Amino acid sequence: MARFWVCVAGAGFLIACVILHGRLCGSGVLRNFVFQVSWRTEKLLYRLDLDWPNYPEYFTGTTFCVAVDSLSGLVYVAQRGDSIPKVLVFTEDGYFLRAWNYTVDTPHGMFAASTPYEQSVWITDVGSGSYGHTVKKYNSFGDLVQVLGTAGKKGTGLNPLQFDNPAELYVEDTGDIYIVDGDGGLNNRLIKLSQDFMILWLHGENGTGPGKFNIPHSVTLDSAGRVWVADRGNKRIQVFNKDTGEWLGAWSDCFTDEGPSSVRFTPDGKHLIVAQLGLSRLLVLAAPPVGSIGTCSVVSTIQLPDQTLPHLLEIDHMTGAIYVAEIGAKQVQRYVPLSTYVPAFST
């Protein structure tokens, strides 16, 4: 008996399939068939929020990074270009609040680190001007609060600390800072600093072996005390113990096509969202439980239009929304978790 699947995509993420059981007669006419309907859910976990932000016209440059302060409901976007505001501040609802460009040269990565008493955003600056080669902390209004590195001077030094193309950072609630340096400059390092900016440990070598890097581009932590680094040029993610810096393992199976450019965990800790810049794709990976990191496994993918070029992303820890800074499309887009899942059934 021949089986024919007739599938109709509906509602964006559901695929209705009708199985026609029947016999094709000589005349090509279907006879004797029974209908079976089965609903199959694609593992689509997010939908694009076309209403964020309210006025995309504020994106006047190339949007390299985004940070979310979920405590205060603020979204920071940094963009590059001439004679434009470099940092834009939006509400999570998509309303534009303010912008600044003083003391920002060429932003690359950012991280919002807020407490109930202080709102702040950190920016890595890869510029070669007088504000470049630094990692800087601002308050929410753009006042410069702290500069790490030697402004205007790239280098490999540790005392005083120097950067070259610092790519991104992650700041813990304790104030401890993890910096990946960098984006194709002199250094290929992962540095952990204490809250008073002393080096606690570092991995500082260029190469392909364990704990060595080729363009460490993004860094994040999980709730099990592990540091996850997108080692883009080596097409892998490397994982370290956050207290000792000990190397715990690497994932490369998921990145044979292209290395990861951004790494962030979902608030429930179940998934690691990874951007693949050149493929214009986001991967939803299964986060491993405490202990061995095992091998990587893709739960779902979000394919963006060609040439969107997702560079760095951030996840709102209250709502789970993913904000993606797209250097090709020159915008930041928001993907929100689908609140309702339709259970799969088949006959």
Ligand X SMILES: *[C@@H]1O[C@H](CO)[C@@H](O)[C@H](O)[C@H]1NC(C)=O
Which of 27, 32, 83, 256 contacts ligand X by CB under 6 A?
83
x/- binding map, residues 246-285, to ligand X, per CB under 6 A?
----------------------------------------
> Rule CB under 6 A: is residue 85 a binding residue for ligand X?
yes
Closest residue by Cα to residue 267 from 131, 60, 43, 70: 70
> Rule CB under 6 A: is residue 128 a binding residue for ligand X?
no
CB of 186 to ligand X, least distance (A): 5
> Rule CB under 6 A: is residue 206 a binding residue for ligand X?
yes
Tell me whether residue 154 or residue 271 sits nearer to ligand X (CB atom).
Answer: 154
Question: How many CB atoms sit inside 10 A of residue 196's CB?
Answer: 6
> Rule CB under 6 A: is residue 195 a binding residue for ligand X?
no
> Rule CB under 6 A: is residue 32 a binding residue for ligand X?
no
> Rule CB under 6 A: is residue 101 a binding residue for ligand X?
yes
> Rule CB under 6 A: is residue 60 a binding residue for ligand X?
no
> Rule CB under 6 A: is residue 186 a binding residue for ligand X?
yes
Tell me whether residue 113 or residue 229 sits nearer to ligand X (CB atom).
Answer: 229
Question: How many CB atoms sit inside 10 A of residue 347's CB?
Answer: 7
Q: Residue 182: CB partners within 8 Å, gap ≥ 6?
A: 124, 126, 163, 164, 165, 166, 167, 188, 189, 215, 216
> Rule CB under 6 A: is residue 300 a binding residue for ligand X?
no
CB of 192 to ligand X, least distance (A): 21
Tell me whether residue 92 or residue 181 sits nearer to ligand X (CB atom).
Answer: 181
Q: How far is CA 302 from CA 194, 329, 335, in A?
A: 36, 16, 10
Single-letter residue type at 174: T
CB of 188 to ligand X, least distance (A): 6
Tell me whether residue 165 or residue 261 sits nearer to ligand X (CB atom).
Answer: 165
CB of 299 to ligand X, least distance (A): 32
CA 42 to chain centre: 22
> Rule CB under 6 A: is residue 214 a binding residue for ligand X?
yes
Instruction: Please report the sign of the dihedral spanned by the C-alpha atoms of residue 92, residue 95, residue 100, residue 104.
Output: positive
CB of 100 to ligand X, least distance (A): 8
Tell me whether residue 58 or residue 111 sits nearer to ligand X (CB atom).
Answer: 58
DSSP string, 131-162: T-SEEEEEETTS-EEEEES-TT-----BTTB-
Selected range binding ligand X among 82-90, 117-125, 144-152, 326-334, rule: CB under 6 A: 82-90
> Rule CB under 6 A: is residue 310 a binding residue for ligand X?
no
DSSP string, 287-339: PP-SS------EEEEEEPPTT--EEEEEE-TTT--EEEEETTTTEEEEEEE-S
| Interface size with ligand X, residues (CB under 6 A) | 9
* Strand pairing report for 212-213 and 205-206: parallel
Ramachandran bin of 184, using left for φ above 0, alpha for ψ from -120 to 50, beta for the remaining angles: left
CB of 204 to ligand X, least distance (A): 11
Tell me whether residue 127 or residue 320 sits nearer to ligand X (CB atom).
Answer: 127
Contacts with ligand X, residue ranges (CB under 6 A): 83-85, 99, 101, 186, 206-207, 214
